[in-house]
Amino acid sequence: MSIAVVSRTIQLILAPVVMITSCAILIGGMLTLYSSVNDRLRLMARERMDLLRTPDDALNLAAAMTKPYAAERLHQIDRQMPELLHRHQMIHNALLAVYGALIVFVATMFVIALAALTDSSAIGTVALLVFLLAMIFLLVGVVLIAQSVRTSNDAVQFEARRALDLGK
């Protein structure tokens, strides 16, 4: 193999590295979002349990509902937690899709190398198809994150509007 062919092959193999780097950056942001939603879920669950706790350490919904603040906050938490759980699952699925894209981009590098070594146009076509598969995984992850952001806006709007309506 000549130096020119080796150099060209290395350039072809490194092309998916840009996509791998993009996936890694996207995953970093998504993991931060995932952690934030996870923490919010845990805080809400803890707050709900604290509101239900009686002086003797029992959990009593009926007693909590007699207190206006506790009843209102329980209503808000009970409305928001299922939506937050759904959002958490969407982010989880998005992360898995982008991790899948990352893995397939790495596989693309090996298929490109194999195509170059064998000088096979059929394997070159396979490399393109594998690359496109990775792009589909990436697209799925981005769509799921976009849906999560939309859902987040709905939850914030609900809580803010509900708080503004109190005492009117």
Quote the percentage of the chain above a pLDDT of 70: 99
- How many domains, in total, are found in the chain? 1
Can you give the residue range of the structural domain that contains 95?
A: 16-165
**Rounded to two decimals, what is the model's pTM?**
0.82
3-state helix, strand, coil in the chain (%, to 5): 90, 0, 10
Over residues 152-168, mean pLDDT: 82
Structural domain contains residue 7: no
What local confidence, expressed as pLDDT, does residue 1 receive?
A: 65
Q: What is the maximum span of the chain, computed from C-alpha positions, in angstroms?
A: 83
Over residues 42-64, mean pLDDT: 90
At 94-111, the pLDDT tens digits run 999 999 999 999 999 899
The alpha carbon of residue 31 and the mean position of all alpha carbons in its chain are separated, in whole angstroms, by 7
Over residues 49-74, mean pLDDT: 89
Q: Using alpha carbons only, what angle is made at residue 52 by residues 37 and 84, rounded to the nearest 5 degrees?
A: 20
Structural domain contains residue 5: no
Average pLDDT score over the chain: 90
Structural domain contains residue 4: no
